[in-house]
Amino acid sequence: MIQAKYRSVTDFYARFNQEASIKALNQVQKSEGEFWFKKPGKLRWSYHKPQKQEYVSNGYTFWFYNPQEKQVIEYPISELINPGNPTTTSSLPELLGNINTLFRPAFSDIKDSSNYVIDLIPIEETDQYNKLTIVLDRKNLMLKAVYLYDSFGNATKVILRDIKINKGIPDSVFKLDIPEGTELIKAPSLTERH
């Protein structure tokens, strides 16, 4: 059911609230913003609070924009992904569209009468996380929240709201317009680093 629903998703928009618990620092960082996704491989995370930041990919290039530093770092997507391990390359709608091939799903111990709470353990190891927990509305399987856990004991909670699916997000959303006076840093490729 989940896989079929999310395979049919061509684009996805949501507002989000995020809480990242960083164990080593014993602190919680809160942020909020908007998320856009479009097949194939386009995404944008726009953080509005506490500081503005942009993470944008057009499917070929990834940009990180920090307005406070007046700096953009640009990476070719091929430098950031592991093509042999799609759990590190995909955004959440793509992962859910391949849930049965990428994860070992199991109902969580968390009891929730209005939602399905499902733990997802990646079949192939990833440095980014060792478990995802997703919360889906029982009525329509709409994704409501994601919990991401890593091997260092850190946890990130992302609560989604105002979700819109298959509304025809324009490709222009996945283009970063670099403001005048902003430094553009092109990250060296792996071959240049050796």
Per-residue pLDDT of 157-169, as tens digits, reads 999 999 999 999 9
pLDDT band with cut points at 50, 70 and 90 for residue 59 = confident
Dump strand ranges (E) for the chain.
11-22, 27-38, 42-49, 53-57, 61-66, 71-76, 103-107, 115-122, 131-137, 143-149, 155-165, 183-186
Does the pLDDT at position 57 exceed 60?
Answer: yes
180/111 Cα distance (integer angstroms): 51
Q: What is the dihedral of CA 18, 24, 25, 26, to 10 degrees?
A: 70
Task: Give me the pLDDT at residue 80, please.
Answer: 61
188/115 Cα distance (integer angstroms): 44
pLDDT band with cut points at 50, 70 and 90 for residue 87 = very low
Per-residue pLDDT of 104-158, as tens digits, reads 878 877 777 889 998 888 888 777 778 889 899 999 888 999 998 988 889 999 9
Would you say 115 and 144 are in contact if contact means Cβ atoms under 8 Å apart?
yes
**Residue 176 burial (C-beta neighbours within 10 Å; 0-12, 13-18, 19+):** buried
Does the pLDDT at position 76 exceed 90?
Answer: no
Q: Quote the percentage of the chain above a pLDDT of 90.
A: 48
The β-bridge partners of 43 are 37, 57
Select from 72, 61, 67 the least CA-distant residue to 47.
67
Task: Give me the pLDDT at residue 41, please.
Answer: 83
Question: Is residue 40 reached through a cis peptide bond, with omega within 30 degrees of 0 on the bond before it?
Answer: yes
Task: Give me the pLDDT at residue 108, please.
Answer: 79
Count of Cβ atoms closer than 10 Å to residue 84 Cβ: 8
Per-residue pLDDT of 88-113, as tens digits, reads 445 666 677 777 777 787 887 777 78
Mean per-residue pLDDT for 12-21? 94
Count of Cβ atoms closer than 10 Å to residue 190 Cβ: 10
Task: Give me the pLDDT at residue 84, please.
Answer: 44
Does the pLDDT at position 35 exceed 60?
Answer: yes
Domains along the chain with CATH numbers = 2-193 (2.50.20.10)
